[in-house]
Amino acid sequence: NDRNRIYPNEINDLAKEVFPPCMRSIHDTLRRDHHLKHYGRLHYGLFLKSAGLKMEDSIEFFRSEMSIHNPEKFQKEYSYAIRYIYGREGKRVQLSAYSCQKIINGCAPGPSDTHGCPFKHFDTKHLKAMLVRYGISDEEQISEIVQLVTKEGNATGACAKYFSIKHRVTEDFSTIYHPNQFLTEARKVLLT
Ligand code: SF4
C-alpha cells in the first residue's frame, strides 16, 4: 500500500476521514455542484497533487465530477488548469500547495467561492453547522472550537482543536500550519 500515492476512487472516503475542513468543504461543493471556481480548483488541485494524486488521475477525477454536465467546458477550462497545476502548461513552474497562512491571509472567498479557511472565513453560524456536519456533536466541544475563533482570532488553533477532537488525540494537538500536514497527521493517527 503506497501511502505516497492516492487514487481517484479513494478521494471520497479520504475527504470524510482525513481531509482538513478547508479541503473537505471544497470537495463537498464539487460533489454537489459539479463545478469549482478558479481558486477552489487551484487550492484543491494543488492539495491533491501534494497528497499524491498523479496528473492523469487528477484529470480523471475532475473529469468524472465535471463532465456530467459539461464535457466541452471541462476540456477548455479544467484540463488546462490541471496541467498547469502539475507544471505542464504556462510557465511550467512547480507550484506547491497553499499553506494555512496563505489560505487564511490570501484573497477572501466571495459568496460563490469555495476556497478559504472555514475557521477564518465562515461566520459563526456556518462554522457551527459545518462542525456538526463533520461529526463534532458535543455542544461544549463546538463552543471550545468556536471561541478560539471568536475570542482569539486563532484559526489554526481552532483547526488543531478540531483535529484533536475528531481524531481523538488525547493530548492537545499542538499546531496546524498546512492542509497537507493535517492530512499526514490524520493518516498517521488512523494507522496507529
Ligand atoms: Fe485548512 Fe489550515 Fe484552515 Fe485547517 S487551519 S481548515 S488546514 S486552512
Cell of 67: 463532465
What is the per-residue pLDDT for 111? Answer: 81
Residue 150 included in any domain? yes
Ligand 1 neighbours by CB, cut-off 6 Å? 20-22, 100, 103, 117-119, 155-156, 159, 176, 179, 182
Ligand 1 pocket test, candidate residues 26, 28, 103, 163, most atoms within 8 A of CB = 103
Burial (CB count <10 Å: 0-12, 13-18, 19+), residue 7: middle
Residue type, 89: E
Residue 91 included in any domain? no
Q: Which residue is listed with cell 482525513?
A: 18
Residue 1 included in any domain? no
Which of helix, strand or coil describes residue 192? coil
> Which of 51, 85, 119 finishes a domain?
85
Total domains, the chain: 2
Ligand 1 pocket test, candidate residues 105, 154, 156, 174, most atoms within 8 A of CB = 156
Q: How many whole angstroms from 70 Cα to the centroid of ligand 1? A: 31
Residue 70 included in any domain? yes
Q: Which residue is listed with cell 505542464?
A: 88
What is the CA angle 72-13-101, rounded to 5? 80
What is the per-residue pLDDT for 7? Answer: 97
**Average pLDDT rounded to a whole number, residues 9-14:** 96
Atom 7 of ligand 1, nearest CA residue: 179
The per-residue pLDDT for range 51-89, each reduced to its tens digit, is 999 999 999 999 988 866 677 878 887 888 899 999 987
Give the residue numbers spanning the domain of 132. 100-191
The per-residue pLDDT for range 99-149, each reduced to its tens digit, is 999 999 988 898 888 899 999 999 999 999 999 999 999 999 999 999 999
